[in-house]
Amino acid sequence: MRATMRSYEAPADFLRVRDFLQTAFYAFGRPVNWGIERWNWGRYHPSMWKGDREANRRHFEDSVRIWEDGEGRILAVLNTERPKPNGEAWIQRLPEADPLLDGILAEAERSLADPADGILRVEAYDHDETLCGALRARGYSRPAESGRFSEIAIEGAEPPALESGFRIRSMAEPGSSLDLRREALGRGFNHADPAEWSTPEEYRLTQAAPDYLPELDLFVEAPDGSYASSCIVWHDARNHFGVFEPVCTVPGHRRKGLGRAVIREGLNRLFALGARRAYVGSGQDFYAAIGFDRRHVSRQWTMATRA
pLDDT digits (tens, 9 = 90+) for 4-47: 999 999 999 999 999 999 999 999 999 999 999 999 999 999 98
User: Is residue 97 included in any domain, yes or no?
Assistant: yes
pLDDT (0 to 100) of residue 306: 85
97 & 163 share domain: no
The domain that holds 208 is classified in CATH as 3.40.630.30
81 & 125 share domain: yes
Mean pLDDT across 287-298:
94
Distance CA 171, CA 212 (A): 11
Of the chain, the percentage scoring pLDDT greater than 90 comes to: 94
Distances (CA, A) of 43 to 18, 35, 60, 206, 285: 11, 13, 7, 9, 29
**Degrees (nearest 5) of the Cα angle 3, 108, 151?**
90
Mean pLDDT across 180-206:
97
78 & 26 share domain: yes
Contact (CB, 8 A) for 271 and 156: yes
- Parent domain of 206: 156-275
| pLDDT class of 143 with cuts at 50, 70, 90 | confident
Which residues does residue 6 pair with via DSSP β-bridges, in sequence order? Answer: 66
92 & 163 share domain: no
54 & 166 share domain: no
Distance CA 67, CA 102 (A): 13
Mean pLDDT score across all residues of the chain: 96
8 & 144 share domain: yes
pLDDT (0 to 100) of residue 1: 67
109 & 168 share domain: no
The HSE-up count of residue 148 (CA atoms within 13 Å, CB side) is: 13
Mean pLDDT across 185-192:
97
8 & 143 share domain: yes
pLDDT (0 to 100) of residue 252: 96
94 dihedral zone (left: phi>0; alpha: psi -120 to 50; beta): beta
Mean pLDDT across 136-141:
97
* pLDDT at residue 284 tops 90: yes
Distance CA 174, CA 160 (A): 22
Mean pLDDT across 53-74:
95
| pLDDT class of 83 with cuts at 50, 70, 90 | confident
Distance CA 241, CA 165 (A): 31
Mean pLDDT across 223-252:
98
144 & 39 share domain: yes
Range 240-275 burial, b when 16+ CB lie within 10 A, else e: ebbbbbbbbbbeebeebbbbbbbbbbbbbbbbeeeb
Q: How many domains is the chain partitioned into structurally? A: 2
* pLDDT at residue 301 tops 80: yes
Q: Phi, psi (5° rounding) for residue 283?
A: -115, 20
**R_g (Cα) of the chain, nearest Å:** 20
Mean pLDDT across 237-250:
97
The HSE-up count of residue 265 (CA atoms within 13 Å, CB side) is: 23
Distances (CA, A) of 119 to 77, 128, 208: 20, 22, 33
* pLDDT at residue 279 tops 70: yes
* pLDDT at residue 145 tops 80: no
Closest C-alpha among 246, 247, 235 to residue 278: 235
Q: What is the pTM of this model?
A: 0.95
pLDDT (0 to 100) of residue 288: 95
Amino acid 210 reads P
User: Is residue 231 included in any domain, yes or no?
Assistant: yes
Residue 116: how many other CB atoms lie within 10 Å: 9
* pLDDT at residue 157 tops 90: yes
Within 129-188, where are the H helices?
129-137, 178-188
Mean pLDDT across 264-280:
98
Which residues does residue 34 pair with via DSSP β-bridges, in sequence order? Answer: none
| pLDDT class of 147 with cuts at 50, 70, 90 | confident
pLDDT (0 to 100) of residue 74: 98
Q: Phi, psi (5° rounding) for residue 114?
A: -60, 120
pLDDT (0 to 100) of residue 84: 87
* pLDDT at residue 236 tops 80: yes
93 & 200 share domain: no
* pLDDT at residue 85 tops 90: no
User: Is residue 284 included in any domain, yes or no?
Assistant: no
270 & 176 share domain: yes
Distance CA 228, CA 253 (A): 6
